[in-house]
Amino acid sequence: MNTFKKLKEFYLPYKKFLFISVFFMIIVITTTLIYPVILEVIIDDVIISGKYDLIPSLVALYFFIMVVKGVSTFIQQYTGDLFGIKSVYTLRNRLYEKLQFLPFRFYDNAKTGDLMSRLTADVEGIRFFLSFGIAEFVRFILFIGISVAVMLTYSVSLTIVTVLALPFLIVVVNKFDKKVHPAFREVRRSFGRLNTKVQENISGINTVKSLSREDFEIDQFNDYNFDFRNRNLYNAGLWAKYFPLMEFIGNLSIILLLSYGGYLVISGDLMPGELVAFYSLVGFIIQPIMFLGFIINMFSQAKASGERLLEILDEPEDIKERDNPVKEKRIAGDVEFLNVTLAYPQDENAALKNISFYAKAGSTIGLIGSTGSGKTSITQLMTRFYEPVEGKVLIDGVDVKDYSIKTLRSQIGFVMQESFLFSSTIKANIAYGRPDATMEEIIDAAKRAQAHDFIMELPDGYDTMLGERGLGLSGGQKQRIAIARAICLNPSILILDDATSAVDMETEFAIQKAMKEVMADRTTFIIAHRISSLKHADQIFVLENGMIVEQGVHEQLIQRNGIYRRIYDIQYQDREAILESQKG
């Protein structure tokens, strides 16, 4: 129960619905247990003793009981559902909120499909148990308790004989629970892996088709699906093994009842109607016990789901604000790194090693180097996507840890290499960072990003709805909308992480020309593989293995026989080769 104790903050506020549900369940059970008593009166008093004048009263009582039971059943089920639905509504909101504030470190290893599985299937597993499982467990206890109490009024000895087999049933149920819980936990994990595979395949369908890897993907999916199937079959085997055994033990109680009860009727110690009523009451015990396997099934699934949800809820939020963070309305944009070292949890080698530099507000900084050299890591430290292991990152002379996260990130415009667009209108995507932006500001940002012309050619212009992840636009068009989104934010610091990699040289030149005005009075960091994208920078840092190995302006770095010059020569030769081929 430790799992449910940790989740109590989500369902305890709605416990009144559970109490109401249990109260009306007691009424339902009480009215149900009156049926055997009426049956006893009909057999012993009406049929055997001939008291036919009792029939109208018994019919009226039976009708009244049916009405009370029907109304109570409705209220009990409805309030039980309310308890589960309201609880998981709060739980799902908390999970989604938690995901928004978890650090990048968490998402470096998390699988999208698995997270989706937790927020859907696992949350539903909790809801089903809260709505039905708890109520059924209470029903189980009440039915057995009240039934045994009524049975004792008929015959103490017959009651004792009838329940002799029940301790064996408890032992079997306990063994079943110990095996079925870990099995269900593995089913949940397997389902998460299956979901992840489907999500990755759909997201990367263009790559799959372009490389003709459909058969490979089908085989991989079959492997995951086969594993999911086998784990479900194992669970089905457990159920098939233990349920008949539980049923057999339950039927033993019936055999003992009929054998000893028949003897009591023959000996005159028990009336026939009392035996029939007793038999009905035993049925009210056996049925809940037979249903106990289903309750354990629900409990095991909910427990496995709860454990997976707690893994998210208990995940530490590494990036936290100070008690009294700095909430400046506008930062100037001075950036300084002081002996900064960064190491990612999953990587043994440091991503950045003792990095130090100063970027004056309004200056343009170029970052170039091989893949994995640490270019993007520098920019991610400014926004506190990650925390340095050593050293400090200062903006306007203030440690970024001292800023309010919202204040800090709202003034840093980020255009990443992979442009992500939401399934919404182009207008909403551009204004995503500034929902209060006017239409004039949105259009101005689009014009500066060289996106206005192609947007106006679309059927609904800025009101055009985009498909998932910007489906329907080319890579260059998506990147230009992402640039417009960053411009619309009107940031003090602008970070362009290979932002023009998906556009042609002509469009890149037009964007660079338009962005000269945008970058004015802003500190701009340009990460690029093309020297043409950053040769105009005030400072250029060349990175290798997490260290700044060269720095200076374009002309200075060209004169040195270093990494920058080699990159320049390679790109220049490639351009010359292209020009020669065009002439030919």
User: pLDDT tens for residues 131-147?
Assistant: 888 888 888 888 888 88
CB neighbour burial string for 368-402, b if at least 16 within 10 angstroms, e if fewer: bbeeebbbbbbbbbbbbbbebeebebbbbebebbe
- Selection from 190-194, 247-251, 460-464, 573-577 with the highest mean pLDDT: 460-464
Average pLDDT over residues 324-331: 82
Average pLDDT over residues 23-51: 82
Question: Domains in the chain, please, with CATH?
Answer: 2-313 (1.20.1560.10), 326-411+492-584 (3.40.50.300), 421-490 (3.40.50.300)
Phi, psi of 253 (to 5 degrees): -60, -40
Average pLDDT over residues 275-292: 75
Please choose, from the candidates 396, 275, 389, the residue with its C-alpha nearest in 3D space to the C-alpha of residue 342. Answer: 389
Band (pLDDT 50/70/90 cuts) for residue 336 is: very high
Q: Give the Cα separation of 349 and 369 in Å (integer).
A: 17
List the helix and strand counts (H, then E) for the chain.
Answer: 22, 10
Q: What is the pLDDT of residue 575?
A: 56
Please choose, from the candidates 416, 239, 387, the residue with its C-alpha nearest in 3D space to the C-alpha of residue 320. Answer: 387
For the sheet with 493-497, list strands across it: 412-415, 493-497, 523-527, 364-369, 539-544, 547-552
Q: Give the Cα separation of 220 and 201 in Å (integer).
A: 10
pLDDT, averaged across the chain: 83
Query: The pTM is what?
Result: 0.72
pLDDT at residue 329 tops 80: no
Percentage of the residues of the chain whose pLDDT score is greater than 70: 92
Tens of pLDDT along 71-89? 999 999 999 999 999 998 9
Q: Give the Cα separation of 235 and 219 in Å (integer).
A: 24
pLDDT at residue 576 tops 60: no
Q: What is the pLDDT of residue 504?
A: 66
Band (pLDDT 50/70/90 cuts) for residue 211 is: low
Tens of pLDDT along 430-473? 898 888 889 999 999 898 888 898 899 888 889 988 876 556 67
Q: What is the pLDDT of residue 510?
A: 65
Band (pLDDT 50/70/90 cuts) for residue 367 is: very high
Q: What is the pLDDT of residue 500?
A: 65
